[in-house]
Amino acid sequence: RFAQFSQFWDLNTLGLEPGDELLYYFEVWDNDGVNGSKSTRSSLLTYEMPTSEEMDKKTEENNELIKKELESSIKEAKQLKDEFDKMERDLLNKKNPNWEDKKKIDDLLQRQKELNSKIEQVQKTFKENLSNQSDYKEYDPELQQKQQELEKLFEQVLNPEMKEMLEKLEQLMDQLNKDKTLDQLQEKKLTNEELEKELDRMLALFKQLEFEQKFSDTKEQLEKLAEKQDELSKETSNQKENKAQKDSLLKQQDAIKESFEEIKQELEKLDSLNQELEQPNEMPDLDEEQQQTEQQMKESKENMQKSNMKKAGENQKKASEQMSEMAQQMEQAMESMEMQQMEMDMQSTRQILENLIKVSFDQEDLLTRSKGVNVYNPQYLQLMKDQYKLIDDLKMVEDSIQELSKRVFQIESFVNEQLGDINKNLEQAVKLLEARQPAASASAQQYVMTSVNNLALMFQEIMQQMQEQMAKQMPGSQMCQKPGGQRQSMSSLRQMQKQLNDKMSQQMKEGKNPRGESGMSKELAQMAAQQAALREALRKLNDELNKDGKKGMGNLEQLQKQMEQTETELVNKQLT
């Protein structure tokens, strides 16, 4: 007789390594209480863990598939956005949608569902990669954080509202309601515009993550191979004349040489991945070290064949040193790339924050001027012109945000949602102003202000996170490695504070009255935001440097209090 059963077994508890082989069998007993339990065993079964090379190959294949599918999805989202827009324009010229219109919209909805399914499949492939990598690799905390942030973006790209919108549009087409269908087509067009931007951003971030992972992997392979070469050099130098052992050493050296050839191929792949980035990094030139390493390996083998083991060991030692030098250059290059990129991103974030604050004030000014204005007053046309100019200003800010979001993992999909709301309400505000309905337009303008302020708060938080990250890296990587590093970090903050002080002094020299000028109010608000950011950066640095309780740089709390007082005076327009 046959019986089926299932048994869950978590192999992760066994701590298997890549390439390990597990032999196992099942054994069952009956419940014969009279004659005693009897057992039977299954045949011997085998479970083989993939090797590191097999896992790397699978990861690379998945990476290529993800990039290909994302690129395809971006094109499809753009086409759908354009076709929903065209469908909306066609319906505007008709009294009611007909059967052909319904068929066209049904086709578009079907394509939208297929696009969503493709994106969901990309999500699964990305998660599969993360799961596979966690089985045999452990990246540093920063890379793990980026993996988590990107995973969150993949999960959020298809939100529940998008699916609800599809269902609602299908229901409306059954009713053939023109006005409601037009509204939903407009929403769908804007949603696909957001989707296109979000997918474009995810592709850029994914390529950056892929590059950084490959960089980390290749550097680690070089370090391990350098250690293996160093161990072999010691063994070779101490080796006496013994043919069997000499043959073994030659085989080990050949294996190391083969591994080095594979690393050279990985470096070529790394260069290709770097070129795929929108802003390729400046890579270290390792050609000379590669040639010297290969030359030392070649001479090592020749000397071993001549039984000159001491000389062969020296060659192997030099080859190990060259590989270590390559790994060190890569590490220094990565640190330099990260710091340069962080500084550039910090500047971009600060500029975006300042621009958002300016736009918020400008929109508030427009909102105030719109209230109670006579629509036949010549000033009304100027209001409309100013609102159009504000649209252009926000477009520039939006482009800057989109570019920054392709480099900064902390920026959440919430940004594109807010930008979508801003564009929708700006369009509504202009339409109502053109229709001579300033009171109704004011409501849309208020929504614009709310979304802009939400973005400003978010970018304020992002800037604080960047400052915290820079403060961590400065004491950890630079300050601890070379004398005067702490003074360098403080010098950076001091320089930014000096620039802010100079800006305030310039306002005083020009004799401006902050209480009487709206433009001056904006500048004071921007300076207050900058002062707050500097105070937060100083606090983080103070906490990091004094965490051992020794207060090696003294107590910086008094400085923070003075900076806080400056913020208060700026906010209250007390420029003294």
Q: What is the pLDDT of residue 475?
A: 44
C-alpha 434/C-alpha 125 separation (Å) is: 49
Nearest to 293 by CA among 339, 261, 266: 261
CB count in 10 Å sphere of residue 307: 14
Average pLDDT over residues 128-141: 80
Does the pLDDT of residue 197 top 80, yes or no?
A: yes
CB 359 within 8 A of CB 390: yes
**CA of residue 358 relative to chain centroid, distance:** 27
Tokens describing residue 236: 């070779």
Tokens linked to 431 = 């339409």
pLDDT digits (tens, 9 = 90+) for 312-353: 999 999 999 999 999 999 988 888 888 888 888 888 888 888
Quick check: 37 pLDDT over 70?
A: yes
- 538, amino acid identity: L
Instruction: Report how far Cα 132 is from the mean position of its chain's Cα atoms.
Output: 20
Q: What is the average pLDDT across 279-293?
A: 89
Please state the rounded mean pLDDT for residues 502-506: 74
CA within 13 Å, CB half, 377: 13
CA distance 321 to 225: 11
CA distance 341 to 153: 21
| pLDDT of 409 | 83
Neighbour-count burial of 34, counting CB atoms closer than 10 A to its CB (0-12 exposed, 13-18 middle, 19+ buried): exposed
Question: Residue range 162-185: average pLDDT?
Answer: 65
Beta bridge partners of 398: none
* Region 486-507 average pLDDT: 66
Residue 488: its pLDDT value, please?
A: 40
Beta-sheet pairing, 27-29 with 39-41: antiparallel
Please identify which residue in the block is written with the tokens 């009304």. Answer: 380
* Contact status, residue 335 vs residue 481, Cβ threshold 8 Å: no
Pick 224 or 374 by higher pLDDT: 224
56 has a pLDDT exceeding 60? yes
| pLDDT over threshold 60, residue 519 | no
pLDDT tens digit sequence for 91-122: 777 777 777 877 887 888 888 889 889 989 99
359-393 pLDDT tens trace: 888 888 888 887 777 888 888 888 888 888 888 88
| Residue pair 456/525 in contact by the 8 Å Cβ criterion | no
Burial status of residue 514 (CB atoms within 10 A of its CB: 0-12, 13-18, 19 or more): middle
pLDDT in tens, 228-264: 999 999 988 887 767 788 888 899 999 999 999 999 9
Q: 310's torsion region: left (phi>0), alpha (psi -120 to 50) or beta? A: alpha
- Greatest mean pLDDT among 35-39, 90-94, 209-213, 456-460: 209-213
- Residue 68 contacts residue 118 (beta carbons within 8 Å): no
Q: Please work out, in degrees rounded to the nearest 5, the angle formed at the alpha carbon of residue 458 by the alpha carbons of 455 and 463.
A: 125
Q: What is the pLDDT of residues 384-437, one digit of tens each?
A: 888 888 888 888 988 898 888 888 887 877 787 788 888 888 888 888 888 888
Helix 485-509 to helix 518-545 angle (10° resolution) is 160
User: Strand locations in 219-291, DSSP E?
Assistant: none
Q: Could you please report the per-residue DSSP string of 152-204?
A: HHHHHSS-HHHHHHHHHHHHHHHHT-HHHHHHHHHHHHHHHHHHHHHHHHHHH
pLDDT band at 307, cuts 50/70/90? confident
Contacts for 566 with CB less than 8 Å, ≥ 6 apart: 531
Question: Quick one: pLDDT at residue 477?
Answer: 39
pLDDT at position 291 is 93
What is the full DSSP assignment across 275-328? HHSSS-------HHHHHHHHHHHHHHHHHHHTT-HHHHHHHHHHHHHHHHHHHH
Q: Tell me what pLDDT residue 178 has.
A: 58
Backbone φ and ψ of 299, nearest 5°: -65, -35
In the chain, pLDDT over 90 holds for what percent of residues? 20
* Phi and psi, residue 21, nearest 5°: -120, 130
| Residue with the two structure tokens 């299908």 | 170
Averaged pLDDT, 34-49:
85
Query: Which pTM value belongs to this model?
Result: 0.72
